[in-house]
């Protein structure tokens, strides 16, 4: 009974096609949030200790670049047969993914981005962010369902942590959704 409750709590499912949709949604959402924005608007901080929208994107770019650098697809193996097959992360990674997701209320420590009271990041950071999303999509278009479990990705921030490729793709998707929400709040503040 307890095992069933724990199992239900962490249950998280996706597929390659769902992940492709998620990353395309992230691109569209970023374009929507940052369309026709000035550098001044994206660098505005809601408060001195809060990140600006540009700092949120810089943070996401740091993580995306690091995870993409650690992702090695040796031979593309994509097949149409298994693109909708359901993938679930392991128990502990699923908990971690939920902790960095868009619905969490947890405040987590991360790599320090904005330490000053002002933000002066160039608007080109948005194009870089969208470029990273397209690279995630390239990965997704090269893999098969088995690759989601078979390919291991070492965390660039904690070398002892190894994620399955599917876990890393879910982690970055959830993390990006969370900080896009934060960036939108910063712009609208």
Task: Summarize pLDDT for 97-133 with one digit per residue, the tens.
Answer: 888 777 766 565 555 544 445 578 898 999 999 999 9
Tokens of 118: 């002002």
Instruction: Answer yes or no: is pLDDT of 165 > 80.
Output: yes
Q: What is the pLDDT of residue 4?
A: 42
Closest to 168 in 3D by CA, of 73, 27, 53, 55: 73
- Distance between the two ends of the chain, CA-based, in angstroms? 46
Mean pLDDT of all residues in 155-165: 89
């Amino acid at each position: 009974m307890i095992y069933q409750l724990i199992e239900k709590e962490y249950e998280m499912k996706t597929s390659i096609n769902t992940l492709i949709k998620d990353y395309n949604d992230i691109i569209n959402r970023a374009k929507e949030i940052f369309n026709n924005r000035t550098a001044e608007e994206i660098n505005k901080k809601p408060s001195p200790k809060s990140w600006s929208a540009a700092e949120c994107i810089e943070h996401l770019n740091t993580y995306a670049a690091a995870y993409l650098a650690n992702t090695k697809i040796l031979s593309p193996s994509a097949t149409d047969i298994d693109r909708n097959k359901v993938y679930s992360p392991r128990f502990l990674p699923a908990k971690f993914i939920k902790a960095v997701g868009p619905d969490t209320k947890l405040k987590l420590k991360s790599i320090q981005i904005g330490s000053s009271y002002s933000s002066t990041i160039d608007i080109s950071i948005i194009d870089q962010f969208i470029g990273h999303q397209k690279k995630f999509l390239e990965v997704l278009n090269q893999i098969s369902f088995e690759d989601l479990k078979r390919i291991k990705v070492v965390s660039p921030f904690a070398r002892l942590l190894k994620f399955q490729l599917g876990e890393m793709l879910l982690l970055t998707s959830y993390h990006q959704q969370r900080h896009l929400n934060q960036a939108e709040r910063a712009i609208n503040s």
